[in-house]
Amino acid sequence: MPEQDAAPGGSGEVLPEVTLLGGVFSRGDVAAGDAAWLQALLDAEAGLARALERAGLAPAGAGAAVTRAAVAADLPAGDVAEVARASGLTGNPVPGLARVLARRVPDFAAPAVHRGATSQDIMDTAAMLLARRAAEVIRRDLMTAARAAARLAAAQRGTLMIGRTLLQQAVPVTFGVVAAGWLAGLDGAVTGLDAVADARLAVQFGGAAGTLASLGDAGPAVAALLADELRLAAPPLPWHTERLRVIDVAAAMARVTAALGKIARDVTLLSQTEVGEVAEGAADAGADGSPPGGAPRRGGSSAMPNKRNPVASVAILGCSRQVPGLLATLVASAEQELQRAAGAWHAEWQPFSDILRLAGSAAAWGADLLGGLTVDTAAMTANLAATGGLPLAERVTGLLAGALGRPAAHDLVAAAAGRAASAHVPLRDVLLALPEVGQAGITAGQVDAALDPAGYLGAAGAFVDAALRAHQEVENEHG
């Protein structure tokens, strides 16, 4: 888990520390490392102190005093080390942190630290705070990526290209409808994040066994006040061993990386040298295309100076490939015993952190990728023309079906396509040489019309327009 430094001011924001792999897997502003956890734990403790004061269970000013002390950046290194050591004795960092925090507040406020809570209350609440902060950052980057996809879909609405199914050339499509498909995935990921952030991020506050017995009748009121203080949902009851909220967060993050991974995979395929229909932008290049200050250029190879690798796409795929396993671990960990789990809860912490970090990195890379993507329409035209009309075989079959019947027309065109491919001649020439075509009364003009890719796009334009309208609704939600 990458380490991060807490930002001053106790705002819950942290600044990423430079790490060896952080440029790939910790890109963007999602904070889910040790310092982010530390601040979130402190925020949960501070929120509890404020809630206790509001409920009349702590002296006036206790909440403010604990909040002032609950700033990760202000903790001496020795205190942080003490918390880390204590976590090995108690199985989690909260007991050590509570002791450190109680020492750092005035005597009158110390009883408000951790009162009524168990360690899992603070850890789970901190996890929800991390998830909310991550969702805000990821949503921003997804919206940036979606806007770029929408621009591509609109600008390339009618740009012809070959469609590919099972990695083989199929029928013509437009790059506009390809980008519209990317856009729909991104919008779906945003919508999923919204649903989780709005309804599934809740405080955890149940005390030792989920009854808040130590607070007597005041327990539910304190739980509600804690939710209000932290701007999290107030659940009907504690969820110590009901872990669907954790799974919901992780699933939303998996949806994010799935949507981005599809885009990245398309870009890697379309940017192959032999295809060359799109290319990633050189985000770090100067006006003349060279890297600034002699720095290594984006996409460069250590061995091959000619290479321009699709780094953003590769990084997204590197993130997205890890997420399903992390999600599986969290789902497997949801089977927890009775009132408090023995190990399954502990197994959640690292994969939960990693899934937030990887989704955030993929989203940041996605915004960069789509914002700088270049489209080579000439390459698209050339690749489509290189097929010699073969992708329109389906349409020619329809043209002949009226006279020959569909099975006979299918077999005739299949044989013609085979001859055209083996002889490397246009399908048109083979078709017009067939006596069956003339006998069916099909003219050369009709064959030419059937082989015109612009006339065989179906509802591609309508689908682009529908995706753009749907995206506008998402924009309106976040305007």
Residues 361 and 321 both lie in one domain = yes
Residues 342 and 442 both lie in one domain = no
**Domain presence at residue 296:** no
Q: What is the pLDDT of residue 18?
A: 59
* Catalytic residue chosen out of the listed positions 11, 301, 321, 406: 301
Domain harbouring 40, CATH code: 1.20.200.10
- Please say whether the dihedral angle defined by the alpha carbons of residues 445, 451, 454 and 458, taken in this order, is positive or negative: positive
Rg value, the chain, Cα: 29
**Domain presence at residue 472:** no
Q: How many domains does the chain have?
A: 2
Residues 331 and 405 both lie in one domain = no
Distance between CA atoms of 339 and 473, rounded to whole angstroms? 43
Interhelix angle 323-332/344-372, rounded to 10 degrees, is 150
**Domain presence at residue 455:** no
Residues 273 and 407 both lie in one domain = no
Q: What is the pLDDT of residue 26?
A: 83
For 469, the token pair is 């309208």
Q: Is the pLDDT of residue 15 over 90?
A: no
Question: Which strand (E) or helix (H) includes residue 443?
Answer: none
**Domain presence at residue 294:** no
pLDDT average, residue stretch 334-359: 96
Residues 98 and 134 both lie in one domain = yes
**Domain presence at residue 62:** yes
217 Ramachandran zone, left/alpha/beta (phi>0; psi -120 to 50): alpha
pLDDT average, residue stretch 417-445: 92
pLDDT average, residue stretch 290-304: 53
Distance between CA atoms of 66 and 57, rounded to whole angstroms? 14
Residues 319 and 439 both lie in one domain = no
pLDDT band at 299 (very low <50, low <70, confident <90, very high): low
Domain that holds residue 21: 4-282+305-382
Residues 316 and 437 both lie in one domain = no
Q: Which of 349, 382, 415 is the last residue in one of the domains?
A: 382
Residues 261, 314: contact at Cβ < 8 Å?
A: no
For 464, the token pair is 């682009």
Q: Does 340 participate in catalysis according to the annotation?
A: yes
**Domain presence at residue 464:** no
* Catalytic residue chosen out of the listed positions 147, 265, 340, 419: 340
Distance between CA atoms of 91 and 346, rounded to whole angstroms? 8
Residues 249 and 395 both lie in one domain = no
Q: What is the pLDDT of residue 415?
A: 95
Residues 235, 203: contact at Cβ < 8 Å?
A: yes
Interhelix angle 219-230/34-54, rounded to 10 degrees, is 130
Residues 312 and 412 both lie in one domain = no
Residues 335 and 431 both lie in one domain = no
pLDDT tens digits for range 189-214: 999 999 999 999 999 999 999 999 99
Q: Is the pLDDT of residue 292 over 90?
A: no
**Domain presence at residue 479:** no
Instruction: Please write down the long-range contacts of 415-423, taking CB distance under 8 Å and 24 or more positions apart.
Output: 417/390, 417/393, 420/388, 420/389, 420/390, 421/388, 421/390
Distance between CA atoms of 365 and 268, rounded to whole angstroms? 14
Residues 339 and 402 both lie in one domain = no
Three-class SS state of 147: helix
Q: What is the pLDDT of residue 193?
A: 97
Listed in sequence order, the residues at least 6 apart from 387 whose beta carbon sits closer than 8 Å to its beta carbon are 162, 169
pLDDT tens digits for range 126-144: 999 999 999 999 999 999 9
Q: Is the pLDDT of residue 98 over 60?
A: yes
**Domain presence at residue 187:** yes
Residues 274 and 170 both lie in one domain = yes
pLDDT tens digits for range 17-40: 557 888 888 898 898 899 999 999
Distance between CA atoms of 284 and 368, rounded to whole angstroms? 11
Q: Is the pLDDT of residue 262 over 80?
A: yes
Domain harbouring 422, CATH code: 1.10.40.30
Distance between CA atoms of 334 and 344, rounded to whole angstroms? 7
